[in-house]
Structure 1
Amino acid sequence: AQNVEKKIFVRLTVDRYTHQFVTQAIETPRENVEIRDILLPMRVSPLMLNVHRPSYPIRSLQQFVRKAVQAERAKCVVTSFGVNTFDDVAIELLITTCYSVLAEDCRSTEPKFAVLMKKVTKGSEEKKMKIIDEEPIIGLQHVIDEVEVTVDGHVERDEEKLERIGVNKGNEVVFVELEYVTIRFDGEMASVKMSPFFKNGQCDICGHYDGEGEDELRKADDELIDDLEKYHRSYFADDSECKIEEELVGNKTNYRIRFDGHQDLFEESQELRKPIMRTDVIEYSHELCFSKKPVF
């Protein structure tokens, strides 16, 4: 077919085997250009491949609404040094070599899911995650230069099998999409998105998810407290093989909570932290300016 004058057509074709390379074909009035094997930062799932993803039949109005509000999920981000909760409150605490509960269904004695994370070793930034769904137990861990995925304790590299249980694995980032939660993990930092149907129905270090932010510090038994250490301890998973790092967990200066970025609360410590001096940088379209002296 001949191209229409003054129109350009672009076609992207995803490699059917790797899902991580694309071919870009550009058709102009004067020439055709094809660029092959463009490497994407992570694997993609073309529309026709979505049949491999877990399918949850809609049998009630509640399930229909759950699908419709998926984009409204609240997000919690967890790093080595703290948590930004579902209600956007910043809590400083340390992730240790014992599993901490990042997200868990606490509406019944038979939770539908639980998401846990811990450090691989002391002093390391590398983390390990355990995601417990109603069926498989998914493990994620940074190994050498990738995030390794295990299913029920066994390493799984078959990407088609992983897609069937909601796991999309890239070289550096893994996404896990379950019915109620979505997890993004890069080996060091995790983000968890939770369905709004779990407002007032979850319990974890990501705070009390109710859209408010004033009563974040509820322990696993739903007791509202103002002691961050007790709050932190209540969400360590039961693990007879794990020894709590008391020198970190018991140090009150490792805890702080910040509401809306304005108010600071120090647990049993009025000691001010030393401000960090930085060089201020301002970038304009034609020049880059640096402060002569470090500023706060």
Structure 2
Amino acid sequence: MLLQILIGGVATGSIYAVVGLGFTLLYRAMKMVNFAQGHVFMAGTFLGLIIANRFALPAIPLLLIVMVLAFLIGVVLERIVFRRLYHDHDVFIVGAIGLGIVLMNTVRVFFPEPVPFPKVFGERLVEFGGARFQEAYLWVIGCTVVLVALLHSFFTYTRHGRAMRAVASDAEIAGTVGVNVPRAIAHIFGLTFAVAAGAGVLIGPLYFVSFDMGDMVGLKAFAAAVLGGINSVPGTILGGIAIGLLENLAGTYISSAYKDLVAFVILLAMLIFRPNGLLGTSTPVKV
């Protein structure tokens, strides 16, 4: 029983971690928080649903196509929406929330009720150590590991990835040494959309999907980023998995009514006692 809970917690936490990466990538680059991230996750789920129903693609091609499309949409939205909001952090947050509401209600027009997602990861039950769980849980965990490894390799070993890291460290100095800062920021936005949409495709086959599914996932992903350190990629991964495990344990051994409370208690405690998170570092402020 415990092993089954832990596997489910790691799978759920992996989703929070992947969506939370969007918060971390953007915060490192812009010191901004995109509260539309949860709704991008939801929209990515329905984009995957539409493509899967129409073309009956296998899991990996479906995941890649959705992430590429989400990347392009993120780049376009950065250019026509977000770039006009950078001048003020509060305006940016309100604009992001507004975009999230637009995404949610657009999907609501076409899918007013919860619908099943195609079982693209298979329906087989896996038995391990006495635990029984869906094969899709292993896909979620495995794809999360691969995605994090690819992001690490991209930012570490590619020229464009290093340019994006330079913008994240100091956009002004990066611009003086020849980095195309607006393009790098647009691509960072595209990446945040891609990882959120990818997480939506991963979680879709496990549940019925609905237009409001992004609300709670977005908030828990933000809590994961704060727990681990919103400017730390490893911290966000750690925070997501920790929240997934703790809420599964609380839902089983305390009460399912308190399952969603875990992330927000952790969020509040971290903001009060350790605002930099477990692995995060304080950000120097230019004066």
Assess same fold via TM > 0.5. Answer: no
- Say which one has the larger Rg: 1
User: Normalized per residue, which structure has more strand?
Assistant: 1
- Shorter-chain-normalised TM-score: which range? under 0.3
User: Normalized per residue, which structure has more helix?
Assistant: 2
TM-score by length of 1: 0.27
TM-score by length of 2: 0.27
